[in-house]
Amino acid sequence: MTDTSIADEEVARFAAMADQWWDPGGDFAPLHKINPIRLEFIRDHLCELAGTDAKSPIPLKGLKILDVGCGGGLLCEPLSRLGASVTGIDAGERNIRIAASHATRTGLDIKYHRMSPEEAVASGQRYDVVLNVEVIEHVADINVFMEACGALVKPGGSMVGATLNRTLKSLAFAKIGAEYILRWLPPGTHDWRTFVKPSEFSAVLRQQGFVVKDLRGLTYNPVFDEWTLSRDLAVNYLIYAVKSKD
Protein backbone atom coordinates (compact mmCIF):
# COMPACT_ATOMS: atom_id res chain seq x y z
CA MET A 1 0.00 0.00 0.00
CA THR A 2 1.38 3.39 -0.97
CA ASP A 3 1.05 6.69 0.90
CA THR A 4 -1.07 8.10 -1.92
CA SER A 5 -3.79 5.46 -1.63
CA ILE A 6 -4.01 5.98 2.13
CA ALA A 7 -4.44 9.70 1.59
CA ASP A 8 -7.21 9.02 -0.94
CA GLU A 9 -9.03 6.83 1.55
CA GLU A 10 -8.74 9.55 4.18
CA VAL A 11 -10.14 12.17 1.83
CA ALA A 12 -13.04 9.93 0.85
CA ARG A 13 -13.78 9.09 4.48
CA PHE A 14 -13.86 12.70 5.59
CA ALA A 15 -15.84 13.75 2.55
CA ALA A 16 -18.47 11.16 3.51
CA MET A 17 -18.62 12.48 7.08
CA ALA A 18 -18.77 16.05 5.86
CA ASP A 19 -21.94 15.05 4.07
CA GLN A 20 -23.46 14.39 7.50
CA TRP A 21 -22.46 17.79 8.88
CA TRP A 22 -23.54 19.47 5.68
CA ASP A 23 -26.63 17.39 4.90
CA PRO A 24 -29.67 19.52 5.80
CA GLY A 25 -31.68 16.30 6.13
CA GLY A 26 -29.06 14.44 8.19
CA ASP A 27 -28.09 14.25 11.86
CA PHE A 28 -27.44 17.98 11.99
CA ALA A 29 -30.78 18.99 10.46
CA PRO A 30 -31.88 21.04 13.52
CA LEU A 31 -28.66 23.04 13.30
CA HIS A 32 -29.31 23.82 9.64
CA LYS A 33 -32.80 25.00 10.49
CA ILE A 34 -31.73 27.27 13.32
CA ASN A 35 -28.67 28.59 11.47
CA PRO A 36 -30.36 31.32 9.34
CA ILE A 37 -31.88 33.14 12.31
CA ARG A 38 -28.62 32.94 14.27
CA LEU A 39 -26.74 34.28 11.25
CA GLU A 40 -29.20 37.13 10.97
CA PHE A 41 -28.67 38.06 14.62
CA ILE A 42 -24.88 37.81 14.24
CA ARG A 43 -24.76 39.67 10.92
CA ASP A 44 -26.93 42.56 12.10
CA HIS A 45 -24.87 43.12 15.24
CA LEU A 46 -21.56 42.79 13.41
CA CYS A 47 -22.66 45.23 10.69
CA GLU A 48 -23.42 47.65 13.49
CA LEU A 49 -19.96 46.98 14.98
CA ALA A 50 -18.26 47.45 11.59
CA GLY A 51 -20.53 50.36 10.58
CA THR A 52 -21.59 48.66 7.33
CA ASP A 53 -24.85 48.06 5.44
CA ALA A 54 -26.20 44.51 5.83
CA LYS A 55 -27.38 44.62 2.21
CA SER A 56 -23.93 45.34 0.78
CA PRO A 57 -22.14 42.37 -0.85
CA ILE A 58 -19.39 41.79 1.77
CA PRO A 59 -20.53 43.70 4.87
CA LEU A 60 -18.17 41.89 7.28
CA LYS A 61 -14.99 42.68 5.34
CA GLY A 62 -12.18 43.65 7.70
CA LEU A 63 -13.56 41.76 10.72
CA LYS A 64 -11.44 39.00 12.24
CA ILE A 65 -13.76 36.35 13.65
CA LEU A 66 -12.99 33.29 15.78
CA ASP A 67 -15.61 30.54 16.04
CA VAL A 68 -15.01 28.53 19.22
CA GLY A 69 -16.39 25.00 18.85
CA CYS A 70 -16.88 25.40 15.12
CA GLY A 71 -17.98 21.82 14.38
CA GLY A 72 -18.29 21.26 10.63
CA GLY A 73 -18.06 24.99 9.93
CA LEU A 74 -21.76 25.75 9.57
CA LEU A 75 -21.26 29.31 10.83
CA CYS A 76 -17.70 29.84 9.56
CA GLU A 77 -18.60 29.41 5.90
CA PRO A 78 -21.47 31.93 5.73
CA LEU A 79 -19.45 34.51 7.69
CA SER A 80 -16.52 33.99 5.35
CA ARG A 81 -18.82 34.55 2.36
CA LEU A 82 -19.90 37.82 3.98
CA GLY A 83 -16.29 38.98 3.81
CA ALA A 84 -14.99 38.26 7.32
CA SER A 85 -11.59 36.70 7.95
CA VAL A 86 -12.67 33.55 9.81
CA THR A 87 -10.83 31.08 12.03
CA GLY A 88 -12.58 28.02 13.46
CA ILE A 89 -11.29 26.02 16.40
CA ASP A 90 -12.71 22.80 17.79
CA ALA A 91 -11.55 20.13 20.23
CA GLY A 92 -12.56 17.39 17.82
CA GLU A 93 -9.87 16.47 15.30
CA ARG A 94 -12.50 14.95 13.02
CA ASN A 95 -14.63 18.10 13.04
CA ILE A 96 -11.65 20.20 12.01
CA ARG A 97 -10.77 17.91 9.13
CA ILE A 98 -14.35 17.77 7.93
CA ALA A 99 -14.71 21.55 8.14
CA ALA A 100 -11.41 22.17 6.34
CA SER A 101 -12.23 19.67 3.61
CA HIS A 102 -15.66 21.21 3.01
CA ALA A 103 -14.29 24.76 2.87
CA THR A 104 -11.72 23.68 0.29
CA ARG A 105 -14.38 22.13 -1.91
CA THR A 106 -16.55 25.23 -1.54
CA GLY A 107 -13.59 27.45 -2.40
CA LEU A 108 -13.59 29.41 0.86
CA ASP A 109 -10.45 30.59 2.67
CA ILE A 110 -11.04 29.67 6.33
CA LYS A 111 -8.40 28.71 8.89
CA TYR A 112 -9.28 25.68 11.00
CA HIS A 113 -7.28 24.44 14.01
CA ARG A 114 -7.80 21.67 16.54
CA MET A 115 -7.30 23.78 19.61
CA SER A 116 -8.89 24.76 22.90
CA PRO A 117 -9.61 28.45 23.59
CA GLU A 118 -6.87 28.38 26.26
CA GLU A 119 -4.39 27.24 23.60
CA ALA A 120 -5.66 29.98 21.29
CA VAL A 121 -4.98 32.57 24.00
CA ALA A 122 -1.44 31.22 24.36
CA SER A 123 -0.88 31.52 20.58
CA GLY A 124 -1.26 35.28 20.97
CA GLN A 125 -3.97 35.87 18.33
CA ARG A 126 -6.78 38.29 19.18
CA TYR A 127 -10.07 38.79 17.35
CA ASP A 128 -12.69 41.46 16.68
CA VAL A 129 -15.40 38.91 17.36
CA VAL A 130 -15.53 35.59 19.18
CA LEU A 131 -18.46 33.25 18.55
CA ASN A 132 -19.45 31.04 21.39
CA VAL A 133 -22.36 29.12 19.90
CA GLU A 134 -23.68 25.96 21.58
CA VAL A 135 -20.42 25.18 23.36
CA ILE A 136 -20.74 26.63 26.84
CA GLU A 137 -23.21 23.88 27.83
CA HIS A 138 -20.64 21.26 26.81
CA VAL A 139 -17.56 22.56 28.70
CA ALA A 140 -16.12 21.22 31.97
CA ASP A 141 -15.54 24.56 33.72
CA ILE A 142 -17.52 27.58 32.53
CA ASN A 143 -15.29 30.12 34.30
CA VAL A 144 -12.04 28.83 32.85
CA PHE A 145 -13.61 28.54 29.41
CA MET A 146 -15.14 32.04 29.49
CA GLU A 147 -11.96 33.61 30.78
CA ALA A 148 -10.13 32.29 27.73
CA CYS A 149 -12.93 33.30 25.32
CA GLY A 150 -13.01 36.79 26.84
CA ALA A 151 -9.24 37.20 26.54
CA LEU A 152 -9.41 36.34 22.82
CA VAL A 153 -11.55 39.42 22.11
CA LYS A 154 -9.77 42.68 21.31
CA PRO A 155 -10.76 45.69 23.40
CA GLY A 156 -13.89 47.18 21.78
CA GLY A 157 -14.63 43.86 20.09
CA SER A 158 -17.60 41.64 20.79
CA MET A 159 -18.81 38.18 21.67
CA VAL A 160 -21.87 36.31 20.42
CA GLY A 161 -23.17 33.54 22.63
CA ALA A 162 -25.90 30.98 21.98
CA THR A 163 -27.02 28.24 24.28
CA LEU A 164 -29.95 26.56 26.02
CA ASN A 165 -31.59 27.92 29.14
CA ARG A 166 -32.04 25.76 32.22
CA THR A 167 -35.81 25.93 32.73
CA LEU A 168 -38.61 23.39 32.95
CA LYS A 169 -39.66 24.48 29.48
CA SER A 170 -36.21 23.80 28.04
CA LEU A 171 -36.17 20.41 29.77
CA ALA A 172 -39.47 19.61 28.07
CA PHE A 173 -38.68 21.07 24.64
CA ALA A 174 -34.95 20.99 24.08
CA LYS A 175 -34.13 17.82 25.91
CA ILE A 176 -37.10 15.45 26.01
CA GLY A 177 -38.91 16.93 22.99
CA ALA A 178 -35.96 17.27 20.61
CA GLU A 179 -34.07 14.15 21.61
CA TYR A 180 -36.71 11.60 22.54
CA ILE A 181 -39.98 12.65 20.92
CA LEU A 182 -39.11 14.50 17.70
CA ARG A 183 -35.81 12.61 17.34
CA TRP A 184 -34.21 15.79 16.02
CA LEU A 185 -31.05 14.98 17.96
CA PRO A 186 -29.48 11.70 19.07
CA PRO A 187 -30.55 10.98 22.68
CA GLY A 188 -27.84 12.10 25.09
CA THR A 189 -26.79 15.09 22.95
CA HIS A 190 -27.45 17.49 25.81
CA ASP A 191 -27.31 17.27 29.59
CA TRP A 192 -30.01 19.59 30.86
CA ARG A 193 -28.20 20.16 34.18
CA THR A 194 -25.34 21.91 32.36
CA PHE A 195 -27.63 24.34 30.52
CA VAL A 196 -26.81 27.97 31.32
CA LYS A 197 -29.29 30.61 32.43
CA PRO A 198 -29.11 34.03 30.69
CA SER A 199 -28.36 35.61 34.08
CA GLU A 200 -25.38 33.25 34.57
CA PHE A 201 -24.12 33.88 31.02
CA SER A 202 -24.42 37.65 31.54
CA ALA A 203 -22.67 37.52 34.90
CA VAL A 204 -19.67 35.62 33.59
CA LEU A 205 -19.45 38.03 30.60
CA ARG A 206 -19.46 41.02 32.94
CA GLN A 207 -16.62 39.45 34.91
CA GLN A 208 -14.61 39.43 31.67
CA GLY A 209 -15.22 43.15 31.11
CA PHE A 210 -18.15 42.87 28.67
CA VAL A 211 -21.38 44.86 28.53
CA VAL A 212 -24.40 42.80 27.42
CA LYS A 213 -26.11 44.69 24.57
CA ASP A 214 -28.77 42.25 23.41
CA LEU A 215 -30.47 39.12 24.65
CA ARG A 216 -33.03 37.35 22.45
CA GLY A 217 -34.98 34.15 22.55
CA LEU A 218 -35.53 31.81 19.64
CA THR A 219 -38.99 30.44 18.98
CA TYR A 220 -39.84 27.57 16.67
CA ASN A 221 -42.82 27.97 14.38
CA PRO A 222 -44.06 24.48 13.44
CA VAL A 223 -46.34 25.78 10.67
CA PHE A 224 -43.53 27.36 8.69
CA ASP A 225 -40.90 24.99 10.12
CA GLU A 226 -38.81 28.04 10.89
CA TRP A 227 -37.15 29.74 13.86
CA THR A 228 -37.74 33.37 14.66
CA LEU A 229 -36.30 35.81 17.21
CA SER A 230 -38.56 36.38 20.21
CA ARG A 231 -38.66 37.63 23.78
CA ASP A 232 -39.05 34.13 25.14
CA LEU A 233 -35.64 33.20 26.59
CA ALA A 234 -36.90 30.00 28.20
CA VAL A 235 -35.42 27.51 25.72
CA ASN A 236 -32.90 28.77 23.12
CA TYR A 237 -31.36 32.20 23.36
CA LEU A 238 -28.72 34.44 21.82
CA ILE A 239 -26.59 36.95 23.67
CA TYR A 240 -24.49 39.80 22.28
CA ALA A 241 -21.88 41.59 24.40
CA VAL A 242 -19.22 44.23 23.69
CA LYS A 243 -15.87 44.34 25.46
CA SER A 244 -14.86 47.64 27.00
CA LYS A 245 -12.15 49.55 25.14
CA ASP A 246 -9.60 49.77 27.95
Partner 1 sequence: MNTHCTDTLIVGGGPVGGSLACALASAGISSVVVDRVPAAELLAPNFDGRATAVAQGPKKMLEQIGVWQALGTEVAPIRDIRVADGRSNLFLHYDHADVREDALGYMVENQHLRHAVLTAVTDAPAIMYLAPNEIDALEHSETAVIARLKGGDHITAPLIIGADGRNSFVRDHAGLELTQWPYHQSGIVCTIAHEEPHHNIAHEHFYPAGPFAILPLTGNRSSIVWTESEVDAADIMALPDDDFIWELTQRAGDFMGALEVVGPRWSYPLSLQYTKTSTAPRLALAGDAAHGVHPIAGQGLNMGLRDVAALAEVLADARRLGLDIGSTQVLRKYDRWRRFDNTMMLAATDVLNRLFSNDIAPIRMARDLGLAAVNRIGPLKQFLMRQAMGLTGTLPRLLKGESL
- Residue 62 in the binding site for partner 1 (CB under 8 A): no
- Residue 124 in the binding site for partner 1 (CB under 8 A): no
CB of 138 to partner 1, least distance (A): 24
- Residue 36 in the binding site for partner 1 (CB under 8 A): yes
- Residue 79 in the binding site for partner 1 (CB under 8 A): yes
- Residue 106 in the binding site for partner 1 (CB under 8 A): yes
Return the residue of 14, 30, 48, 81 that touches partner 1, per CB under 8 A.
Answer: 81
Tally of CB atoms within 10 A around 26: 12
Q: Which of 14, 27, 35 is nearest to 103 (CA)?
A: 14
Q: Which of 68, 242, 64, 213 is nearest to 149 (CA)?
A: 68
CB of 173 to partner 1, least distance (A): 22
Return the residue of 57, 186, 188, 222 that touches partner 1, per CB under 8 A.
Answer: 57
What burial class does residue 6 get, using C-beta atoms within 10 Å of its C-beta: 0-12 exposed, 13-18 middle, 19+ buried?
exposed
* Cβ proximity to partner 1, 13 vs 32, nearer residue: 32
What residues does 215 pair with on adjacent strands? Answer: 239
- The Cα 215–Cα 233 span in angstroms is 8
SS (H, E, C) 64-120: EEEEECCCCCCCHHHHHHCCCEEEEEECCHHHHHHHHHHHHHHCCCCEEEECCHHHH
Single out the segment in contact with partner 1 by CB under 8 A; choices: 100-108, 114-122, 165-173, 236-244.
Answer: 100-108
Dihedral of CA 38/79/134/162: which sign? negative
Return the residue of 3, 55, 168, 193 that touches partner 1, per CB under 8 A.
Answer: 55
- Residue 70 in the binding site for partner 1 (CB under 8 A): no
Return the residue of 13, 40, 147, 154 that touches partner 1, per CB under 8 A.
Answer: 40
Angle separating helix axes 93-106 and 3-22, nearest 10 degrees: 90
159 in Cβ contact with 67 (< 8 Å): no
CB of 39 to partner 1, least distance (A): 4
What residues does 129 pair with on adjacent strands? Answer: 65, 158
* Cβ proximity to partner 1, 99 vs 146, nearer residue: 99
CB of 139 to partner 1, least distance (A): 27
Contact footprint for partner 1 (CB under 8 A): 19, 22, 24-25, 32-33, 35-36, 39-40, 43, 54-55, 57, 77-82, 105-107, 224-225
